[in-house]
Amino acid sequence: MERLEQPMPLLHPTIGSVVEDITLHKRRVVRFREVSGSQRSSWTTYYDNVKVLVFMVDMTNQYQVSQVQVELLNMLSCEKLSGVPIAIVFNKTHSPLALPLPKFYSVTMLHTIIAASNFVIKVFETDFRTDHGVESLVVWLKDRFKD
């Protein structure tokens, strides 16, 4: 599996904001800023100079479905993000507690939202605990940062 040139950090829920510099293509350092869902009200303050946006959805948290839809619509209407490629990452999709993706798409009208958007949006199904789907996300991210 193609991986980043350095090990992935231990995975745990983000509290607040975490900044991680990661080396891509053996020479380019890319700064990743992870901002937790609990910090939603401040997300827009981080939108300046964004090159790629990764929107992570914990599929085992079924109570967040309506909030995910609202936040995604807010991001897609934000001028600062115009032209920024977006990865929507459905994480923990293989958990027995996960909301089935067809139900998520139906409830949030995600197909309609993506089709009506002017953004390049790529959807990933992952489980970071088992590495399922992570390789395709890493490849997609690396492609966004090629010189």
pLDDT digits (tens, 9 = 90+) for 91-121: 999 999 999 999 999 999 999 999 999 999 9
Task: Quote the pTM value.
Answer: 0.81
What pLDDT, in 10s, does the model give residues 22-69? 776 666 666 666 665 665 666 777 788 888 888 888 899 888 888 889
| Three-class SS of 84-113 | CCEEEEEECCCCCCCCCHHHHHHHHCHHHH
- Helix residue ranges per DSSP H, the chain: 65-76, 101-108, 110-116, 134-144
For residue 4, the model assigns a pLDDT of 47
Mean pLDDT of 122-143: 89
Candidates 116, 133, 129, 109; CA nearest to 54 is 133
With DSSP H G I counted as helix, E B as strand and the rest as coil, what are the percentages for the chain, rounded to 5?
35, 25, 40
